[in-house]
């Protein structure tokens, strides 16, 4: 069984001319490490399609999507929030980032490979129904989940988010939607200062302190996520795969390593084989230290293989 990699050259055209930690070189680092590792031979690489407004509007307010299209600059840049900017190529990058998730869901539901990973940017999990924030314009994972529910009538989708930051946007979009089981671990207290007091039973948040080790994180996953995931019996597993919790990534202060990302991918693959014919779709979120980002993505994909 292979893993399909979805990406698109447009994802490199966002913020090309501005200095920003969420930069095109992140994707180059991932692609270089995939080639260096020899993993390329075990993967199927595909270009994704752009998401349509109709697809985006399932997760976002239509007025917000219209606003992003209207604001997209043809030169220079604009700021959507203090962290999130748009340059000339940003709208196309954001459309392809969300669209790759839709293609990956289609591939999982009807293609040859139930497992895929989307090497995309901008990331998505901080974007709410009507607000860009934290480097995110459209909520890629939420758009993918809504596509799966709308086009394949799925009623139980698990979203796993192990980025070091809480995925406040994903939580807000599915806060009252029990078709989604959202399992999230994040450094707390930390940006965006949400998630620690969420009480909905379909949202399993694991706020953890700075300095959290891989073994502490794995113990929490075993105790809180895995039993809930087995009870939920997901029909599809989506992963907001952020690698900024790596010990070498100074965007956060977790001490995760490649072995932890390999381990979670193996756990999710096993769950998916048991409950949903192996369907796992990973989407890149954070990860800003290029070396550890490349190695961590490779470790995660190896865990899916």
CA distance 154 to 63: 26
**Nearer of residues 114 and 286 to Zn ion, judged by Cβ:** 286
Per the annotation, the verdict on 126 as an active-site residue is yes
CA distance 177 to 19: 38
**Nearer of residues 24 and 73 to Zn ion, judged by Cβ:** 24
Q: How far is the CB of 46 from Zn ion (least distance, A)?
A: 26
| Window 112-151: contact mask with Zn ion (x via CB under 5 A) | ----------------------------------------
Q: How far is the CB of 163 from Zn ion (least distance, A)?
A: 4
Q: Which of 23, 244, 249, 260 binds Zn ion (CB under 5 A)?
A: 244
**Nearer of residues 171 and 244 to Zn ion, judged by Cβ:** 244
Catalytic residue among 14, 126, 146, 188: 126
Torsion of CA 24, 122, 111, 230, to 10 degrees: 120
| Window 248-287: contact mask with Zn ion (x via CB under 5 A) | --------------------------------------x-
| Window 151-180: contact mask with Zn ion (x via CB under 5 A) | ------------x-x---------------
Q: How many residues bind Zn ion (CB under 5 A)?
A: 5
Structure tokens at 149: 């529910």
**Nearer of residues 65 and 132 to Zn ion, judged by Cβ:** 132
The backbone torsions φ and ψ at residue 184, rounded to the nearest 5 degrees and listed phi first, read -135, 135
Q: How far is the CB of 49 from Zn ion (least distance, A)?
A: 26
CA distance 33 to 246: 16
Residue in the shown chain whose Cβ atom is closest to Zn ion = 286
CA distance 253 to 249: 8
Structure tokens at 115: 């497992």
Determine if 89 is a binding residue for Zn ion (CB under 5 A).
no
The backbone torsions φ and ψ at residue 57, rounded to the nearest 5 degrees and listed phi first, read -70, -15
Evaluated on CA atoms 303, 186, 94, 177, the torsion sign reads positive
Crossing angle of helices 140-152/90-110, nearest 10°?
40
Q: Identify the three-state secondary structure at position 266.
A: helix
Q: Which of 242, 278, 294, 303 binds Zn ion (CB under 5 A)?
A: 242
**Closest CA relative to residue 282, chosen from 242, 238, 246, 245:** 238
**Nearer of residues 72 and 284 to Zn ion, judged by Cβ:** 284
Q: Identify the three-state secondary structure at position 177.
A: coil
Catalytic residues: 126
Q: Which residue ranges make up the site for Zn ion (CB under 5 A)?
A: 163, 165, 242, 244, 286
């Amino acid at each position: 069984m292979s893993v399909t990699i979805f990406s698109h050259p447009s994802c490199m055209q966002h913020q090309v001319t501005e200095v920003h930690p969420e930069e095109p070189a992140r994707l180059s680092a991932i692609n270089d490490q995939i080639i260096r590792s020899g993993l390329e031979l075990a993967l199927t690489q595909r270009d994704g399609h752009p998401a349509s407004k109709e697809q985006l509007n399932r997760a976002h307010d239509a007025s917000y999507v219209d606003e992003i299209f209207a604001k997209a600059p043809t030169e220079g840049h604009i700021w959507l929030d203090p962290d999130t900017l748009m340059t000339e190529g940003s709208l196309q990058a954001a459309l392809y980032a969300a669209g790759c998730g839709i293609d990956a869901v289609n591939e999982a539901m009807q293609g040859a490979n139930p497992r895929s990973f989307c090497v995309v940017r901008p990331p998505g999990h901080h974007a709410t129904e009507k607000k860009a924030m934290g480097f995110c314009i459209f909520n890629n994972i939420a758009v993918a989940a809504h596509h799966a529910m709308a086009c394949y009538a799925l009623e139980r989708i698990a979203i796993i988010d192990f980025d070091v930051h809480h995925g406040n946007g994903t939580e807000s979009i599915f806060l009252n939607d029990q078709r989604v089981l959202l399992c999230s671990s994040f450094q707390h207290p930390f940006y965006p200062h949400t998630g620690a007091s969420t009480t909905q039973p379909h949202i399993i948040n694991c706020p953890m302190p700075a300095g959290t080790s891989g073994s502490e994180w794995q113990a929490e996953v075993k105790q809180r996520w895995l039993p809930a995931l087995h009870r939920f019996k997901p029909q599809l597993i989506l992963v907001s795969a952020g690698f900024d919790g790596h010990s070498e990534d100074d965007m956060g202060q977790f001490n995760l390593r490649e072995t932890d990302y390999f381990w979670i991918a193996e756990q999710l693959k096993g769950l998916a084989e048991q409950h949903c014919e192996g369907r796992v779709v990973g989407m890149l979120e954070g990860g800003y230290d290029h070396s550890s980002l490349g190695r961590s993505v490779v470790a995660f994909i190896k865990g899916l293989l």
